[in-house]
Amino acid sequence: MGFQVCAHRGASSSHPENTVAAFAAAAALGVERVEFDVRRTVDGALVIMHDPTVDRTTDGSGAVWELTLSQIRALDAGSHKGTQFIGERVPTLAEALSACPMLCNVHVYPGPDDLEATVDGVVEELTHAGRLESAFVAGDARVVDRVARVEPRLARCLLDWADDAESYPQRSLDRGCLNLQPWRGIVSEELCAVAHSLGQTVHPFYADDEAEMTRQIACGVDGILTNQPALLQRILRSLER
């Protein structure tokens, strides 16, 4: 498997993040992966939203887990990015999966008291959509452990490198995780070498400028999460010449 460009929250530099418009733009670029974030509403729906609240990316306010699906669907999630995106809505997980034919990097963020319901719902949705082979779940140790218990065939990624970066590959492997997403600040040739020796792939978060993209590529990463997927594609093409 070659180097994989992962569009972070879709083509989020040019389109409103975590929307169908951003996912469609990423698909049009032909990226190998897309990353998006899932949260659960008060009435049990799974929606695509990174932040705990809808305040930053919509014209509404409030915590996702305290709002209903209909309340969230009524919000404008696009106008902050430009008038051409007025009326763009917060998608459901099902809509995101339909818009993303590529490998889906599904970040799961439970609310204060809905860990099992959120994780179980995501696993059920991925199973129903036939995406067990073309998606993986990323999250903290609680999320990863719950996925392993509910559906061990679903690939996982432990998002827990901050406390001890050096042991991150082994701690991930101990939880059955072969996908690594280290923070860009800890990416090095040594980290990549250790991960590869354990059979893991390294896809850092993140790189948005040419210098950092080039540095990470030189370290031996297997892909990069980026808000600038078109730029990363251009750099990769230039390196192939």
Please report the domains of the chain, with CATH numbers, ordered by start residue: 7-178 (3.20.20.190)
Split at pLDDT 50, 70, 90, the class of 241 is: confident
pLDDT of residue 165: 85
SS3 175: coil
Q: Exposed e or buried b for every residue in 96-117, given b needs 16+ CB within 10 A? A: bbebbebbbbbbbbbbeebbee
| Band of residue 80 on the pLDDT scale cut at 50, 70, 90 | very high
Residue 80 C-alpha from the chain's centroid? 21
* Among 71, 85, 72, 65, residue whose Cα is nearest residue 10: 85
CA quadruple 137, 109, 94, 11: dihedral, nearest 10: -80
Instruction: Write out the catalytic residue numbers.
Output: 8, 50
- What is the pTM assigned to this prediction? 0.96
Percent of the chain with pLDDT over 70: 100
Arithmetic mean of pLDDT, 80-106: 97
Task: Say yes or no to pLDDT of 96 above 90.
Answer: yes
Q: Are 35 and 105 in contact (CB under 8 A)?
A: yes
C-alpha closest to that of 10 among 84, 105, 85, 76: 105
